[in-house]
Amino acid sequence: MSASFSRTPVYIVCSPRPFVGKTLVARLLTEFLFLARGSVTAFDVNVKEPSLLDYLPRLTETAEVDDTFGKMKLMDRLIVHDGVAKVIDLGFHAFDEFFGTFAEIGFIKEAARRQIVPVVLFLADTDRNSVRAFGTLQDIVPPRQLIVVDNEHVLLGELPPMFARGRVLRIRALPPFLKTYIDRLSFSFTGYLRAEPDASTELNQWIRKNYTSFRDLELEIAKPRA
């Protein structure tokens, strides 16, 4: 474990709703962490394709939370302070099961004891189920570790007040032709940056902006607690 990583982050990318850009955010984050740290372990908890495993097979493992054995196996992997960042692409079907176990075993308290920092990235939507789910998370996740993702592909207008009051990470909408381009299974965000050095292109700027947001999160996690 590198001495520069005094705490191990566990990023949980989630929503109780499908088609909100969750896997896109998980892809961006996983590629950034691999670039920044040199290692990352991602877990794909999905029932639909394409999923994170399809995009990043060398960095991703499948995980199941449908039964007690699967849930505890995943939690055991997440609670290890090894300096390797973890990313969970949590399918909407598994939202309640995962966070029910998360709260039941006291994951937040145990993580703090082991120098692990769980960070929940919640993809916001305007439906009643999203509001309910976010309220549940507010009860079990510390405010600084609960981040609303405002994906402009989904939220075309202003962020609903309940979500806007906390920490917000914004993902700007891309034109349809660029959205189609990055949705290809062979596309790599980091690969694009290396192949396209012109920082003035829209996609180059979009990737760099998102990577900068993730870098700021990483720098905050690296700070020792007061």
Q: Quick one: DSSP state of residue 38?
A: S
pLDDT of residue 3: 40
Q: What is the pLDDT of residues 2-24, one digit of tens each?
A: 445 689 999 999 999 999 999 99
Taking the C-alpha atoms of residue 176 and residue 139, their distance in angstroms, rounded to an integer, is 37
pTM: 0.94
The residue range of the domain holding 72 is: 8-222
Taking the C-alpha atoms of residue 88 and residue 208, their distance in angstroms, rounded to an integer, is 22
The chain-wide mean pLDDT, for the chain, equals 93
> Is 216 within a domain?
yes
Q: What is the pLDDT of residues 159-179, one digit of tens each?
A: 888 898 889 999 999 999 999
> Is 2 within a domain?
no
> Is 1 within a domain?
no
Which burial class, exposed, middle or buried, applies to 160 when counting CB atoms under 10 A from its CB (0-12, 13-18, 19+)? middle
> Is 144 within a domain?
yes
> Is 3 within a domain?
no
**Per the structure, how many domains does the chain have?**
1
